[in-house]
Structure 1
Amino acid sequence: MVKHQIPRPKDLLPLMQFKKPQLSAKKRRLESALTVVDLRRIAQARTPRAAFDYTEGAAEAEISLARARQAFRDIEFHPHVLRDVSHVDTGWDVLGSRVALPFGIAPTGFTRMMQTEGERAGAAAASAAGIPFALSTMGTTAIEDVAAAGGSGGRNWFQLYMWKDRDRSMALVDRAAKVGFDTLLVTVDVPVAGARLRDKRNGFSIPPQLTLETVVNAIPRPAWWINFLTTEPLAFASLSKWSGTVGELLDTMFDPTVTYDDLAWIKEQWPGKVVVKGVQTVEDARRIADLGVDGITLSNHGGRQLDRAPIPFHLLPEVVREVGNDIEVHLDTGIMTGADIVASIALGARFTMVGRAYLYGLMAGGREGVDRMIEILGSEVTRTMRLLGVTRLEELTPAHVTQLDRLAPMRPRVRRA
């Protein structure tokens, strides 16, 4: 029989340690976020629907994005045990310079519409964490201001959409080079804008079109509106003014005539590294590698262009086999956890990029929210590596990961005579 007794206060005290109260509401909500999904939940509660849906949404039925995320869920890890993993190194060289973590912040457009600190917060957080930050052609902070936000230790990449107005496009490239951006990220999967139906339904335009529904949705989110209306007016580093939907804007700007010859010409204009983003077939990967670029990014634009496009993570092993000895292979689309990043590195990616995860953090808490996003993904990368029994990124191999593919192609039917 268990003997019961009245507990003594001195015995209870070690078991009843109360957490020190956090007086800052922002810090409380960010500390409560243990995953990127948690940051997404906070972001959605704090951001008007039109702005949040611009981040969250994809093209048409949003099948490409759903499949990309599912592909990361459908993996099986193969850990090794009895390894000393007391010290783990999560960094290595990417495009000739060291990164502290094998991921960076992807280029995102209209970022200050999501949260007013915008690209400045992203560049500063990335610089502090020792990872690259990519500024979009459709960024809402001037190229020079992003360089200043990153400081002398910041590593900035400029993402280029080639416009119909070539001179205007290359003027942006020249500005980026002059302030020390080291890599040009040429995006090639946008001959026209994808059909982003959420934006059409929400009336997402520049400037925002206020409707009764918009106002009602914004009432429980006063902090967003106060910040939006009391900070510098929303402007674009590459655009003076526009009145219309985002898709209409992109269709007037993107050049559907861009070819491999244009890509070769762009490469000649840039003094630094060149990475081509939006590659979705092995054949294109090979042809682009033969142009002598420094890297390619397997991406279906976060599912925001062609719906039912190839899943970058599924494409990764075959592309690495084809061109991995010649150029670096990077990956984005669908990454939500550090385990996704580790799996990508194991299958041959040199680097990965996160876009929505970054914006969730930004919407959840500005610069501090982006810091929290990086902290979450970084801790997940470290923990996954330890549980796999590896201490360096170089130790990760395809033997650590199996892709479980629920979307295997159907066999051709044999017609009977």
Structure 2
Amino acid sequence: MVKRQVPKPSEIFELMQFRKPSLDFRANRLSRAQSIPDLRAIAKRRTPAAAFDYTDGSADREISLARARKAFEDVELHPGVLTDVSDLDTTTTILGGPSALPFGIAPIGFTRLMQTEGEIAGAGAAAAAGIPFSLSTLGTTSIEDVRATAPDGRLWYQLYVMKDRDISYGLVDRAAAAGFDTLLFTVDTPIAGNRMRDARNGFSIPPQLTAKTILDAIPRPWWWWDFLTTPKLEFASLTTTGGTVGQLLDSAMDPSIDFDDLAEIRRMWPGKLAIKGVQNVEDARKLVDLGVDAIILSNHGGRQLDTAPVPFHLLPDVRKAVGGDVDIIIDTGIMHGADIVAAIAMGASFTLVGRAYLYGLMAGGREGVDRAIEILSSEVRRTMKLLQVGSVEELEPRHVTQLRSLVPIEHGVQKPV
């Protein structure tokens, strides 16, 4: 029989732990977010549908994005045992410089649309965390203002080569003058992808007040207050600001870009050059032969050609083809620190996160971006320790098995009799 007794009041009071109430509502909601999907749920509640769907969605049937996320879910991790991981080293070297973590912030256009602090929040949070921040050609904060926000941060500039080459080349010069150390030349956007959520929402830059947007704004007055009481939302580096996203991209992008443009940009740019949007082994090998510093395996977050190859699936073959001397960066589908660890183990030098950072931005501005980086960092550290790996350099293919649910069909060719 269990011996029972009347509890003493003092013992009951010891169990009653009440937190001191806080009126910092932003900090309260961010502290409750324990994962990137948690931040996404907060972001969806706080952001108008058009802006949220621009971030959250991808092209056509959104198959590429779903497959990219499934690829990271279909991973088996293989931990070691009896390894001292009390001192964990998450630092790495990428494109000739340091990063405190094996991931950085990917370039995103129209960022102030999601939340008014936009690129300023992203660049400041990245600098504080010691990781690179990438600014898009279609950014809503100028090259110079981003540098002023992060005077000591590592900054990368993402370039679209547009029909008016003088505009593109002028941006290259400005980024170099501002001390950006790497240029990300994007090559997968000759035209805009078919982003159906944006079309259904009537999404435009700047947002237009319609009956639908006004109804959507009623439960989100804080977003509209920020939008209406801060500087006009427009591209910081371009003069064209009106129209749907597809119209803007189609008017700016040039489907005629080729390897001559790459040679010209290489001639102009004094820093490191990475090619973003590589999606097959042959192109990766050719670019490395031409002397680029890094290739970025990316299908643009599933926002261009739907059913394009999954970057994480391509990674082992590309690494084998180009060898170990060139940096390979991977993006698309990363929503957890374990995804980052798996990518590094399978041969990536570094990773970029886009939506994960934007969910934090929409959930809470600069503090939300800090929280997104904190969540991913803690997941990276926990995964590495559970794998019993002491540093990023120790991650190897033996730590990961890719469980592929999508296996290409080998079609036999019947010979004539």
Question: What TM-score range do you get, normalising by the shorter chain?
Answer: over 0.9
User: Is the CA contact 1:289–1:326 (under 8 Å) kept in the aligned structure 2?
Assistant: no
Alignment deviations for residues 1-21 of structure 1 (CA, whole Å, 9 cap, x no partner): 011111112323443322333
Residue 411 of structure 1 and its aligned partner are, at CA, apart by 2.6
The one-letter code of the counterpart of 1:113 is: L
Q: How many aligned positions are there?
A: 416
SS in 2 for 1:158: strand
The one-letter code of the counterpart of 2:118 is: G
Cα distance in structure 1, aligned partners of 2:300 and 2:215: 32
Residue 120 of structure 1 and its aligned partner are, at CA, apart by 0.4
Report matched runs for 1:325-336 at 5 Å: 325-336=324-335
Q: 1:85 — aligned with what?
A: 85
User: Is the CA contact 2:205–2:234 (under 8 Å) kept in the aligned structure 1?
Assistant: no
Q: 1:398 — aligned with what?
A: 397
Cα distance in structure 1, aligned partners of 2:220 and 2:21: 25
Cα distance in structure 2, aligned partners of 1:105 and 1:130: 11
1:99 aligned to 2:99?
Answer: yes
Residue 293 of structure 1 and its aligned partner are, at CA, apart by 1.0
SS in 1 for 2:352: strand
The one-letter code of the counterpart of 1:257 is: S
Runs of 4+ in 1 over 4 A off after TM superposition: 413-417
Alignment deviations for residues 193-246 of structure 1 (CA, whole Å, 9 cap, x no partner): 111111111111122222211111111000000000001111212222433211
Runs of 5+ consecutive residues of structure 2 not aligned to the other structure = none
Residue 310 of structure 1 and its aligned partner are, at CA, apart by 0.2
Cα distance in structure 2, aligned partners of 1:125 and 1:361: 11
Q: 1:52 — aligned with what?
A: 52
Runs of 5+ consecutive residues of structure 1 not aligned to the other structure = none
1:32 aligned to 2:35?
Answer: no
Residue 84 of structure 1 and its aligned partner are, at CA, apart by 1.1
Q: 1:123 — aligned with what?
A: 123
The one-letter code of the counterpart of 1:240 is: T
Report matched runs for 1:404-415 at 5 Å: 404-413=403-412
Q: 2:303 — aligned with what?
A: 304
Alignment deviations for residues 333-369 of structure 1 (CA, whole Å, 9 cap, x no partner): 0000000000000011111000101110000000000
Residue 410 of structure 1 and its aligned partner are, at CA, apart by 1.4
Cα distance in structure 2, aligned partners of 1:14 and 1:101: 40
Cα distance in structure 2, aligned partners of 1:42 and 1:22: 19
Q: 2:9 — aligned with what?
A: 9
Q: 1:146 — aligned with what?
A: 146
SS in 1 for 2:163: coil
Cα distance in structure 2, aligned partners of 1:382 and 1:73: 18
Farther off after superposition, 131-140 or 235-244: 235-244
User: Is the CA contact 1:324–1:348 (under 8 Å) kept in the aligned structure 2?
Assistant: no
Cα distance in structure 2, aligned partners of 1:243 and 1:100: 39
Give TM-score, length-normalised by structure 2.
0.98
Q: 2:339 — aligned with what?
A: 340
User: Is the CA contact 2:235–2:241 (under 8 Å) kept in the aligned structure 1?
Assistant: no
Q: 1:275 — aligned with what?
A: 274
Residue 413 of structure 1 and its aligned partner are, at CA, apart by 4.9
Q: 2:364 — aligned with what?
A: 365
The one-letter code of the counterpart of 2:357 is: Y
User: Is the CA contact 2:60–2:195 (under 8 Å) kept in the aligned structure 1?
Assistant: yes
Q: 1:183 — aligned with what?
A: 182
User: Is the CA contact 1:50–1:199 (under 8 Å) kept in the aligned structure 2?
Assistant: yes
Farther off after superposition, 258-267 or 285-294: 258-267
Q: 1:378 — aligned with what?
A: 377
Q: 1:22 — aligned with what?
A: 22
Cα distance in structure 1, aligned partners of 2:22 and 2:399: 41
User: Is the CA contact 1:103–1:352 (under 8 Å) kept in the aligned structure 2?
Assistant: yes
Cα distance in structure 1, aligned partners of 2:22 and 2:414: 70
Cα distance in structure 1, aligned partners of 2:98 and 2:78: 28
Q: 1:202 — aligned with what?
A: 201
User: Is the CA contact 1:157–1:181 (under 8 Å) kept in the aligned structure 2?
Assistant: yes
Q: 1:42 — aligned with what?
A: 42
User: Is the CA contact 1:55–1:359 (under 8 Å) kept in the aligned structure 2?
Assistant: yes
Residue 99 of structure 1 and its aligned partner are, at CA, apart by 0.5
User: Is the CA contact 2:127–2:153 (under 8 Å) kept in the aligned structure 1?
Assistant: yes
User: Is the CA contact 2:157–2:183 (under 8 Å) kept in the aligned structure 1?
Assistant: yes
Q: 2:320 — aligned with what?
A: 321
Give TM-score, length-normalised by structure 1.
0.98
User: Is the CA contact 1:331–1:351 (under 8 Å) kept in the aligned structure 2?
Assistant: yes
Residue 294 of structure 1 and its aligned partner are, at CA, apart by 0.6
Cα distance in structure 2, aligned partners of 1:19 and 1:322: 56
Cα distance in structure 2, aligned partners of 1:335 and 1:68: 8
Farther off after superposition, 405-414 or 190-199: 405-414
Residue 174 of structure 1 and its aligned partner are, at CA, apart by 0.6
User: Is the CA contact 2:337–2:380 (under 8 Å) kept in the aligned structure 1?
Assistant: yes
Q: 1:227 — aligned with what?
A: 226
RMSD: 1.2
The one-letter code of the counterpart of 1:118 is: G
Identity of aligned residues (%): 65
SS in 1 for 2:365: helix
SS in 2 for 1:181: coil
